């Protein structure tokens, strides 16, 4: 995780909160490209007017993108501007990349069709969302954002998908400068705070049951040394054991399926079979130890 070095609970929670904040930073970096590309488009058009022999198009540019209402509302939003001031200074050093993104994009038929389309908020919104998808698939921009954190390689697509769906929800009514800008994790929202609380407690439970989980993993390994098992597989198994023993409302099979899916994304192709087999054996043993009790709500206290 990068910043966590100690074993104390406070340090662990601070590290967790730090990385959750980094996901919000990535989200703002992504959406900030829309107003930044619109600004770059304006500069390109103004520069073209100063050519020694400007074309008719250079002298009378189409400012449709520069004046896009949806993007303008983003640029005027108080909270987004505040977030951009905090997190988006890096784009100053990558201004060329933003400019090149516009220059390439304006050659596309979708851009030309937009310039000729009837005016309106919905048209501007649909175009802005299409442009956002284009920018999220532009390697140079993705690499520039990735320089901010090595961990963002795994998070980039998930955050981009969140932003894509979030932008689609911003209807004309209520989208103004005073609107609370949606973040990936926002503690002002009860659901987000509940999710964060659950994640912190699961992280704590995983640390507390780590020794027991790894003891059981060693016990059920067949023909394989513990030290040769993927560290990611061990981590996923430890987290699953924490859910078995500390989450009374989550059925064991749901937990197994959940961590098998995570292994498909974060580990090797063979990990799902390994994790499934180990966890099935652990369930029986943990039940016999009285460590699994599916009752009540929330996270139960870890048993001694």
Residues 21-66 pLDDT 10s: 889 999 999 999 999 999 999 999 999 988 888 888 878 899 999 9
Residue in the structure block whose two tokens are 């099935």: 280
Check residue 111 and give its pLDDT. 97
Above 50 in pLDDT, residue 75?
A: yes
Q: Residue 302's pLDDT is what?
A: 43
Give me the percent of the chain exceeding a pLDDT of 90: 64
Which tokens in the block code for residue 36?
A: 């930044």
pLDDT tens digits along 254-286 = 999 999 999 988 888 888 999 999 999 999 999
pTM score of the predicted model: 0.79
Predicted pLDDT at 224 = 78
- Residue 82's Cβ-side half-sphere holds a number of Cα atoms within 13 Å equal to 10
Q: Which residues of 176-197 are buried (b: 16+ CB within 10 A; e: fewer)?
A: eeeeebbbbbeeeeeeeeeebe
pLDDT for 94 beyond 70 = yes
Say yes or no to pLDDT of 303 above 80: no
Structural domains of the chain in order of their starting residue, each with its CATH number: 9-168 (no CATH), 190-288 (1.10.940.10)
Task: Please give the span between the terminal C-alpha atoms of the chain, in angstroms, as a whole number.
Answer: 28
Give the dihedral of Cα atoms 191, 81, 137, 172; nearest 10 deg.
70
Chain segment 106-150, per-residue pLDDT in tens: 999 999 999 999 999 999 999 999 999 999 999 999 999 988 887
């Amino acid at each position: 995780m990068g910043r966590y070095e100690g074993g104390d609970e406070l340090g662990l929670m601070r590290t967790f909160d730090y990385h959750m904040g980094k996901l919000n930073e990535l989200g703002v970096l992504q959406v900030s490209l829309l107003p930044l590309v619109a600004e770059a488009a304006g500069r390109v058009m103004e520069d073209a007017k100063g050519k020694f022999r400007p074309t008719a198009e250079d002298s009378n540019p189409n400012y449709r993108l520069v004046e896009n209402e949806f993007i303008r509302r983003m640029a005027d939003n108080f909270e987004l501007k505040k977030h951009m001031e905090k997190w988006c200074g890096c784009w100053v050093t990558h201004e060329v990349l933003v400019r090149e993104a516009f220059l390439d994009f304006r050659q596309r038929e979708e851009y030309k069709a937009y310039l000729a389309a009837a005016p309106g908020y919905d048209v501007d919104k649909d175009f802005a969302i299409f442009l956002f998808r284009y920018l999220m698939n532009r390697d140079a921009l993705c690499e520039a954002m990735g320089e901010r954190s090595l961990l963002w390689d795994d998070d980039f697509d998930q955050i981009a998908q969140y932003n894509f769906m979030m932008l689609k929800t911003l209807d004309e009514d209520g989208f103004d400068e005073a609107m609370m800008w949606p973040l990936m994790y926002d503690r002002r929202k009860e659901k987000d705070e509940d999710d964060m609380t659950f994640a912190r407690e699961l992280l704590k439970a995983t640390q507390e049951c780590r020794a027991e989980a790894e003891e059981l993993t060693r016990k059920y390994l067949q023909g394989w040394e513990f030290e040769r098992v993927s560290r990611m597989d061990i981590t996923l198994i430890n987290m699953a054991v924490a859910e078995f023993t500390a989450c009374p409302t989550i059925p064991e099979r749901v937990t197994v399926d959940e961590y098998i899916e995570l292994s498909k994304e974060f580990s090797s192709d063979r990990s799902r079979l390994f994790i499934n087999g180990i966890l099935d054996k652990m369930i029986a043993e943990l039940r016999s130890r009285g460590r699994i009790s599916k009752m009540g709500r929330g996270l139960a206290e870890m048993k001694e």
